[in-house]
Amino acid sequence: MELQLDKLDMQILSSLQVSNQTSAHELADRVALSPSAIQRRIRHYRNAGVITADVSVLNPKLAGDHISVVILIQLAQQGPARVADVRARLSRSPHVQVVMEIAGAYDLMCITVFDTMDAFNAFADAEIADHPSVGRFETIFVRRRVKFGATIPL
């Protein structure tokens, strides 16, 4: 059975996407529900898989210099099992922030981050170039991060 979200759910979830540290009391000032009702809904969102993670987004400047790289991957061997294998391999890496299956000349796109060019080269060689299902890949080095987020418009 699919979870039905009402207008109040959307208001709560929109606020939590901006800051998951917003208290139920603060949310009650924005949404026409009591803090205890909001807490019950948030607990339900987590149990139902609507909220899949509570994370802290770090300021990249505080973590030191990093290299962000967009990688486009074209598979030499097609098929659901091949795509799933490459996707899973990429998803296991702590360097990979995003993996997407895409349409067009390439099959997969990922956003990655590395502390050095040597770390990027080691990753690209071991995880992408050496994979038997990968035909070719292209890299795009990010000059400047302008916006970075994971919110979904509700």
pLDDT in tens, 80-137: 888 899 999 999 999 999 999 999 999 999 999 999 999 999 999 999 999 999 999 9
Q: What is the CATH number of the domain that holds 33?
A: 1.10.10
- Look at residue 28 and tell me whether its pLDDT is greater than 90: yes
The owner of tokens 């098929």 is 79
Whether 83 and 129 share a structural domain: yes
Q: What is the pLDDT of residue 97?
A: 95
Rounded CA-CA distance 74/23 in Å is 45
Please determine, for residue 149, whether its predicted confidence score (pLDDT) is greater than 70: yes
Per-residue three-class SS string for 63-125: CCCCEEEEEEEEECCCCHHHHHHHHHHHHCCCCEEEEEECCCCCCEEEEEEECCHHHHHHHHH
Q: Tell me, yes or no, whether 57 lies in a domain.
A: no
- 34 and 74 belong to one structural domain: no
Residue 76 pLDDT > 80 = yes
Q: With contact defined as beta carbons under 8 Å apart, do 60 and 145 qualify?
A: yes
Flag whether pLDDT at 1 surpasses 70.
no
91 occurs within a structural domain: yes
Residues 128 and 88 in one domain: yes
CATH of the domain at 80: 3.30.70.920
Q: Is the dihedral of CA 94, 96, 97, 98 positive or negative?
A: negative
| Domain identity same for 81 and 36 | no
Do 72 and 135 lie in one domain? The reply is yes
* Domain range enclosing 87: 67-141
Beta-carbon neighbour count of residue 109 at 10 Å? 17
On whether both 136 and 87 belong to a single domain, the answer is yes
Residue 27 lies in a domain: yes
- Same domain for 80 and 134, yes or no, is yes
* 33 and 73 assigned to the same domain: no
Report how many domains make up the chain. Answer: 2
Q: Could you report the per-residue pLDDT of 43-71, keeping only the tens digit for each?
A: 999 999 999 988 888 877 777 788 999 99
Please tell me the distance from the alpha carbon of residue 70 to that of residue 49, in angstroms, as a whole number: 28
Do 81 and 27 lie in one domain? The reply is no
Give Cβ neighbours of residue 136 (< 8 Å, ≥ 6 apart): 73, 74, 76
